[in-house]
Structure formats: structure tokens, C-alpha cells
Structure 1
């Protein structure tokens, strides 16, 4: 009898989860802002002679997600260009400043824990995907020298929480890890790799269609 009760309770829970899951075919759009926070050690150039520091930046973002199955969605994140100051420090302490802009579109496969009777009906989610970062407008404050940063492709992880405040609207808090490494060159000569690999923290308004 206990086993039968457990089976019936499990079946009921699964039925409830399915009934309240985000159904396949659903679209969501999220508009907000994200802060790109590069890792603290961004590598060294010129065989370790020059250390690199990349600062953070915040910009508006937008993402769209299509649910290919119940609670399972494919999301594309886009943003306006992020701006980063870059500090190059030589062993003698001399500093040369540089800067760049980048666009980091990210495609993720995500699972939403909807229909699990969470407190306040919050809806956690996790995701994993790929990030493509393209750099442009690179500049370095060294007369007659041109800085170039190659585009980057790497894995991206995503975790977040949707807090509903209306049937089709929610407030989102999320964090992403992006594996972003770029080969740097001066006047076409390779000088090493800059490892940005940031955590990206954000908030957004989410609308479901």
C-alpha cells in the first residue's frame, strides 16, 4: 500500500509539473542590462614581459528564447557594444593604455524549473551554449602602432531566476560565464593571448508570448 501510494503521489506530481510547465512553442523576450566583469588576471604578452588588465562595462541587452519542448528553450543573447579600457604594464612599471569594443552574441540551450512549486512561484533556470565575441575599434596609446584583437569562440554557462509579477511578465536576475580569449597583435605581429573570460551579471524584464 505504501508503494502504491508513493507511485500515485509521484504520478500526480509529474502530472502537475507537466500541466504547469512552460509549453513547447512559447516565446519569451527579455530586455535589461548586463555588467561584463573580466577575470582578475588577464594574462601576459611578449613572453611574459607585459601584464594585461581589462576593466568591466555595463550595457543594455536583449534576448529571445523559443521553447522547443516543455521547459526547454533555445536563447540568443544580444547587446549594444561593450567598451573596455585595457592597461598594459611593463616590468619597469611603465603603463600604456588601450581600449576596445566588442559584441558577444551567445546562443544557449536552457532548462527552466517551472511547475516545481517553488516559493513565490519563482522559476530558476540553467543553460549551456556557445559565445562568439567580435572585437573592433581597438586602440593603443602608442604612436604609430596598431592593436588588433582576434575574434573569440568559447563555451558559455548560464544560471538565473525569473520572479513572476503577472501571468506573462517576470523580473529576471541572471549570471553567465563566458570563455573569451583573444590573440593580440601589434602591427600584425603576434604578441600573445588576452584572457578576458568574464562573469556577466544582469537584470531584465521578461515578457512571455
Structure 2
């Protein structure tokens, strides 16, 4: 009886030893073949490189127009680095819809004849963006291109030191609708749901700036914001 039990136990051990490598070999293959999640969230550090040039001087108070510095005013907007969050949904394996959330702070200074003039401070911009992306099936590195509408929500702006010294008591920058294109790529981190991600967006976006002394508008200018948003971070797909 002991011999029979011994032989049966030995057979089971040998059977397990033979089967185990096959099972282990099958497990990674099964994981690699599993469908990827439809959702992806990205945490990014984003550089916002704005333009801010004046396209048009729509109206100007004669007192300002008579000042040499305001005969042909020009401005630039400061750059900034800010955290952003992106949420992406894959409609198909190679097609997704993405939106981003974040807020960026800027100030507007003069250039040219207004060089160094502080005109608008504390401009907060929320670049609400929705893009449709196509992911190119090129192996482990996953490049993509995309395009879609965008709205820049502008708030918190106030007169800069130079504008305040000229008597400006209030400034207002309009929120506006524009368009964005993007390109970038994701690099999966081994066989995990995580990826390194790199993204570039180009916007075409205008805003109209209003400068007031009391209730009277003394200057109105149209500006091209037209920023680049350059981002890098980590993505998680589920």
C-alpha cells in the first residue's frame, strides 16, 4: 500500500512539475492579449507659451493717443508652467476623445514703445479643450494626432502698475472660442497600465482687452493669445 501511495504522489508531483512551466508561460501571453481599458487619465506638467500681441487697437482715448508710447502700442503675455489633468475615452482602439483641466496665471506687459510697461496682472486662464485623437498603430511607442474646439475662460485680471499709474481702475479680458491641434506619444511602462506621455497643443485664440477709468473705457485692444501648451507626465489606463 505504501508503494502504491508513493508512486501516486510521485506521479502527481511530476505532473505538476511538467504542467507548471506551461501555465506560467501562458499567463503573460494572456495578460498581453487582454483588451486595454477604455479610459485613460493623465497627470501632466504643462508649459504655457502665450503670444499676447495686439492685432487691432479698436478704440483709444484721445488723451492716451496723444502720448507717444501709445501711438502704436504692443504687448506680450508671460509664459507659465502649471499642472494639468487630462481625461481620455477610447471610442475605438485607435480613436479617442480627450479633455483637459487646469488653470494658468499670466501677466501682460508692453513691448516696443511700451517696453516694460505693466499693463495687466493676474490673468487666470482655464483652457477648456475637447479633441478627437487618432492613435497610430506603430508598435510599443504610440504616437497620435488630434484636433478640436477650445474655450479660454479668462478671469481675475486687474490693472498692472503702469496702467494703474495712468488712472486705469479696472481691466477686463474676454473669454473666447478657438481651435486647437495636438500631437504627441505615449510610451507604455513594461506590461503595466502606466505610460509616460508627451503632448504638444497649438491654439488659435483671441481675446479683447478693455481698460476703464471709472465707468469710461479708455482703451480697447484685440490680442492674439495663440499659445503652445507643451506637456509631459504619466498616464494610467483602466
Equivalent residue runs for 1:1-209 within 5 Å: 26-39=38-51, 42-43=53-54, 46=57, 49-79=72-102, 81-89=103-111, 91=113, 95-99=117-121, 100-114=123-137, 116-117=138-139, 121-140=140-159, 141=161, 142=164, 143-166=167-190, 167-187=192-212, 189=217, 191-209=220-238
Unpaired runs of 5+ residues, structure 2, are 1-31, 59-70
Distance 1:162 1:193, change over 3 A: same
CA-to-aligned-CA distance 1:140-162 (integer Å, 9 cap, x gap): 13144211000011110010010
Q: TM-score, normalised by structure 1?
A: 0.79
Q: TM-score, normalised by structure 2?
A: 0.70
Residue 32 of structure 1: CA displacement? 1.3
Distance 1:61 1:92, change over 3 A: closer
Aligned mates of 2:114, 2:128 — CA distance in 1? 38
Q: CA RMSD in A?
A: 2.5
CA-to-aligned-CA distance 1:79-126 (integer Å, 9 cap, x gap): 1x2111210347375723322111111100001113x33xxx100011
Aligned mates of 2:142, 2:168 — CA distance in 1? 53
CA-to-aligned-CA distance 1:20-68 (integer Å, 9 cap, x gap): 8x76x711000111011013x6125646621011010011000111111
Assess if the C-alpha contact under 8 Å between 1:51 and 1:88 holds in 2.
yes
Distance 1:55 1:69, change over 3 A: same
Aligned mates of 2:72, 2:171 — CA distance in 1? 17
More helix by share: 2
Unpaired runs of 5+ residues, structure 1, are 1-18
Number of matched pairs: 184
